[in-house]
Amino acid sequence: MTAIALNRHQNRTLPHFRALMGAAVAFVILAGCQSTELPRVAVAAAPLPVPSATIVPPKAPSKPLPPPAPAALIATVNELARGFDGKVGIAVRSIDRDWQVAANGDLPLPQQSVSKLWVAMAVLDARDQGRLTLDDPVTVTREDLTLFHQPIAAMVKGDGYKTTVSELLQRALTQSDNTANDRLLRFVGGPDAVRDFVRRKQLGTIRFGPGERLLQSQTAGLQWQSGFATGNSFIRARAQLPIETRVKAFDAYIADPPDGAAPVAIAGALAKLKRGTLLSPSSTQYLISTMESSKTGRQRLRGAVPEGWSVGHKTGTGQDLAGRTAGYNDVGILVAPDGRSYAIAVMIGDTPRPVAERQALMQSVVAAVVANHS
C-alpha cells in the first residue's frame, strides 16, 4: 500500500479505535467501583426440618389388682388336693373380690351331670333372645328315654308325657334327670347349640359331650342301642363285655373326656352367672334359685354349709369300674350371711376312694372357705 493510501486508512480507523479504547477504560473504571467478589446465583433456601411429633394417648387408669387370696385357704386347698387318692381338681373364686385359689385348676376332668348346667344356660339364653319361653309345651316320648337316673320315664306312657320347658329344667337341675336333660338338649338345638353358647360367652375350657346316651355308651365300651333305655338292658350288656374292653374304654374316657372341663373355668362361669353377665336378670335369678333347690348331693358341698349360709349347686357322678369312679363332682355358688359369695368347683376325675371320703373332701373345701371369710 502507498504512503498516501496508508494515511487515508489510518485516518478512517483511528476514530473507531479511540472509541473502543474509551469504552474499555470506562468499563474498567466502572468495574473498579464494584465489589471484587464474583456474582452469586440466588438459590432457594432448603426448609428447616420440622421435628416429628409423636402423639401419646393418655394412659387409661390402671385397674386395681384384686386383693390376694387368704394364705390359709391356699395352703388348705393345696393340702387337700395333694392328700387325696385320685385325680382331683379344686377351684375357689371370690365373686366379690375376684381372687382365686386352685389346685390342678386347669386340668380338664369329666363333668358328667355338671354339664346339665350348660344345657340349662343355653335354654335360658334362647329364652332371653325370645326364641322360646319357659311355658312352651314339650312332649317326652319313649324314643326320648336315655339311661341311668331318669325318674320322668315312669310318666311316659302311650303317646308320651306332655310337659313344659320349665318342668324339664327343674327335673334336670334338681333331680339330675337324664331324659329331661336330653329332651331339653334336643329342644334347644343339640350339642352344637350348647357349644356355641359356651364359645360366645367365652367360658374357657368347658367341653360339651354328645349327649347322655352316646357319652355313657362310649365310656362303657358299647355302641348305643335304643333297647338300652328300658329296664336293665344297658347294665346287662355292659357286664357281658370283656374286662379288657371295659378298662380300655374307661381309661380312654378319663384321659380325654369329651365332656371334660377345668375347675377354674367352671368356677369362672359360675362367677359370671352370679354377677349377671351371662343371662338376663330374670333368667339369672331363675337358674340360681333352681340350683339352690337341688335335691341331689346333700352330703357333698351342701353337707358343710353352716347356718346362715346358702348354696346353689349341681352334682355329677360317672360310672364305676372295679372300685373306680370316672367323675364324682359338685360345683356351686356359696353365699355368706353378709351377701358375699364364692364359686366353688370340686371335681374328682378318677378315684378308688369310698364315697364318704369323696364327700369329706368336698365338705373340707367349703369349711375352709367359711373359715377364711372375713
The predicted-structure confidence for 201-243, as pLDDT tens digits, reads as follows 999 999 999 999 999 999 999 999 989 998 899 999 999 999 9
348-357: average pLDDT: 97
**Would you state the pLDDT for residue 56?**
61
Could you count the other beta carbons within 10 Å of the beta carbon of residue 284? Answer: 20
141-156: average pLDDT: 95
**Would you state the pLDDT for residue 238?**
97
**Would you state the pLDDT for residue 151?**
96
Rounded to two decimals, the pTM is 0.82
Residues facing residue 110 across a β-bridge: 260
pLDDT tier at 190 (50, 70, 90 boundaries)? very high
Q: Give yes or no for residue 21 having a pLDDT over 80.
A: no
Q: Give yes or no for residue 143 having a pLDDT over 90.
A: yes
**Would you state the pLDDT for residue 39?**
41
**Would you state the pLDDT for residue 16?**
42
Could you count the other beta carbons within 10 Å of the beta carbon of residue 371? Answer: 12
pLDDT tier at 104 (50, 70, 90 boundaries)? very high
112-131: average pLDDT: 98
Could you count the other beta carbons within 10 Å of the beta carbon of residue 183? Answer: 25
Q: Report yes or no: 238 and 220 within 8 Å, Cβ to Cβ.
A: yes
133-155: average pLDDT: 96
Label the pairing between strands 324-325 and 320-321. Answer: antiparallel
Q: For CA atoms 126, 132, 136, 139, give the dihedral sign.
A: negative
Any long-range contacts for 301-307 (C-beta under 8 Å, 24+ apart)?
301/330, 301/331, 301/332, 301/334, 301/344, 301/346, 301/362, 301/363, 301/365, 301/366, 303/359, 303/362, 303/363, 303/366, 304/362, 304/363, 304/364, 304/366, 304/367, 304/370, 305/334, 305/366, 306/370
pLDDT tier at 59 (50, 70, 90 boundaries)? low
d(CA 122, CA 126): 6
Lowest mean pLDDT among 41-55, 145-159, 265-279: 41-55
3-state helix, strand, coil in the chain (%, to 5): 50, 15, 35
**Would you state the pLDDT for residue 66?**
75
